[in-house]
Structure 1
Amino acid sequence: MGSGITELLRSSSNDIWSRILNHSFVIELFNGSLPMNKFNFYVIQDYNYLITLTKCQAIIVSKLEDPQVMRTVLELALADVTTELENYNKLLNRLDLRLEDIIKIKPSPTNTAYMNFLLNTCTLGTPYEGLVAILPCYWTYLEIARYHAERLKANPIDVYRDWARVYLSL
């Protein structure tokens, strides 16, 4: 492991990472035993989160001065909007969920608290504080997908496999 700040943060929080990687929801999703109603609930919450993430990225860009950093964040935002949201629109169709219904569903209290934290941090903090606030999502999804890649191969549920494979391509 290197000596960068991310390596230091990662190694100093192994207990948290272990709980994330071994959470029952994650295990069940990757091995295919997660009840579909739980996955549907998650997808609805995550879609709301992705909309908030896009807003946060726009706020961050509006505060940046360095054109190269602006471009990097804009490219990340564009990838999220075009890839993630496009994949979610397809996923909603596969789950027989309609976008117009999804956007009317009130986010859960936990999701609302997290989205408010992100929006507040990005709005009131520096652009770099905003970037640090949104980093865990990308990092965690990538780590989860890599950690459970073998389990995913044997997953009998097509929609779960297809959803998770997106994160293996990061």
Structure 2
Amino acid sequence: MTDSTESFSQRLVKAGTPIFEEILKHPFVQGIANGDLPKEALTFYVGQDFNYLNAFIKVYAGAIQKCVNRKQMAFFSQQIGFVLNSEIHPHHNFCDVAGVEYESLQHEAQAPFTYLYNEHMYNAARTGDLIDVVAAMTPCPWTYIEIGNELVREGKNGEDNVFKPWIDFYANFDGEGDSVLPKMFELLDTEAPKYREEHLKRTEEIFLKSCELEWEFWDQAWNQRGWRFVKPSNVL
């Protein structure tokens, strides 16, 4: 049950914080903090995140279909533009450090956890209400913004860190992203009173699955974990 003094978004963040703490300790994230990551991990991450963000854009479009007013529609439309035009900058930072062309990583097939995460979001967009779609999507900006802010607090964005542009991008993401996280939290809190606790528990599970899949995404890139037996084709 939600505490009477606790908003639904606060409830979700509280539930997801133990997973976020594990994300922050992950070797890939610590590699960003320390300015040292293997080229193979960087390129695997970029190829998979390009795939993931393509799906994220489509789920934003799915959310628009569930909106009840133009203010909501405008928010999701703006975020589509942001992902297309601005969230390429962290990818470029990783590619520059790895010494590869960004375009060469834009045709990779979805690795297992990329596929699972994308399907999880697609399912929320297909079968859920607006609150469920937003819950599936929120862990991505939430965890990345928190990572960026934490690394800045730790002083990890010094000029000697090759990943300073990545850290600074996400530490400043909430301004650059048109306050995406507060608006997502606001949507969750606006929609939550419309539902019984039974539905809100399902929504919380959707959120937590996305949080866990965020951890799996980092781990997949760290270990360059692809399909063992299947050779999937690339699907945008």
Task: Give the alignment's TM-score, normalised by structure 2.
Answer: 0.63
The aligned counterpart of 1:96 is 100
The aligned counterpart of 1:152 is 156
- Structure 1 distance, partners of 2:16, 2:91, is 34
- Note the alpha carbon deviations across 1:19-62, whole angstroms, 9 max, x for none: 11111111111211222221121111111111110111111112
The aligned counterpart of 1:76 is 79
Query: Which of 58, 61, 64 is matched with 1:58 structurally?
Result: 61
Please say which of residues 9-18 and 71-80 is displaced more in the overlay.
Answer: 9-18
Structure 1: runs of 5 or more not aligned: none
- Structure 1 distance, partners of 2:92, 2:21, is 31
Q: Write the mapping of 1:1-170 to structure 2, written as runs, cut at 5 A.
A: 3-85=6-88, 87=89, 90-91=92-93, 94=96, 95-99=99-103, 101-149=104-152, 150-154=154-158, 156-158=160-162, 160-170=163-173
Q: How many residues align?
A: 166
**Cα deviation, residue 105, structure 1:** 1.4
Matched residue type, 2:100: D
- Structure 2 distance, partners of 1:19, 1:93, is 25
- Note the alpha carbon deviations across 1:8-27, whole angstroms, 9 max, x for none: 22223432221111111111
Using a 3 Å threshold, how does the CA distance of structure 1 residues 166 and 70 change in structure 2: closer, same or farther? same
Please say which of residues 47-56 and 88-97 is displaced more in the overlay.
Answer: 88-97
Task: Give the aligned CA root-mean-square deviation in angstroms.
Answer: 2.2
- Note the alpha carbon deviations across 1:77-107, whole angstroms, 9 max, x for none: 222222113x2574476342242x3232112
Matched residue type, 2:81: L
Please say which of residues 56-65 and 2-11 is displaced more in the overlay.
Answer: 2-11
**Cα deviation, residue 6, structure 1:** 2.1
Structure 2: runs of 5 or more not aligned: 174-236
Structure 2 contact 52–118 (Cα < 8 Å) conserved: yes
What SS does the aligned partner of 1:65 have?
coil
Paired-residue identity, %: 23
**Cα deviation, residue 115, structure 1:** 0.8
